Amino acid sequence: DTGVSQDPRHKITKRGQNVTFRCDPISEHNRLYWYRQTLGQGPEFLTYFQNEAQLEKSRLLSDRFSAERPKGSFSTLEIQRTEQGDSAMYLCASSHSRGHEQYFGPGTRLTVT
């Protein structure tokens, strides 16, 4: 069983560009989470999917952020019109419906120049 995978691992983009990240959860996990982490901080919750349904979204998430999980498997996180403040590590985690333990992917490090 492979763990959670994320692609790309690193992304450098210019301010104002759109970026999209992908997350593939552990195969039998139906719960998927996106987080953002900046230096010296813990991961900050962005959004949660149960199967294909987006059940919770952080109020901190501006309308420039959108996430999808169309078939209940992989998920994408898109950031439109990126700003320098979006520079962070974007983490995906998944868990099984039988438990609350989350397992993180390696993350996508975004740098906005």
At 86, give phi and psi (nearest 5°).
-80, -10
Confirm if 99 and 82 have CB atoms less than 8 A apart.
no
The single residue listed with the structure tokens 């039998």 is: 28
Rounding to the nearest 10 degrees, give the CA dihedral for residues 107, 40, 78, 112.
-100
Nearest approach in angstroms of CB 68 to other proteins is 17
Half-sphere exposure of 14 (CA within 13 A, CB side): 0
Query: By C-beta, is 19 or 23 nearer to other proteins?
Result: 23
At 73, give phi and psi (nearest 5°).
-115, -100
Query: By C-beta, is 42 or 70 nearer to other proteins?
Result: 42
At 85, give phi and psi (nearest 5°).
-70, -10
Nearest approach in angstroms of CB 67 to other proteins is 14
Query: Does the protein bind other proteins through residue 42 (CB under 8 A)?
Result: yes
Site string for other proteins, 47-86 (x = CB under 8 A): -x-x----xx-x----------------------------
**Quick one: which segment of 10-18, 41-49, 62-70, 72-80 binds other proteins (CB under 8 A)?**
41-49
Note the residues at the interface with other proteins (CB under 8 A). 33, 40-45, 48, 50, 55-56, 58, 89, 91, 100-107
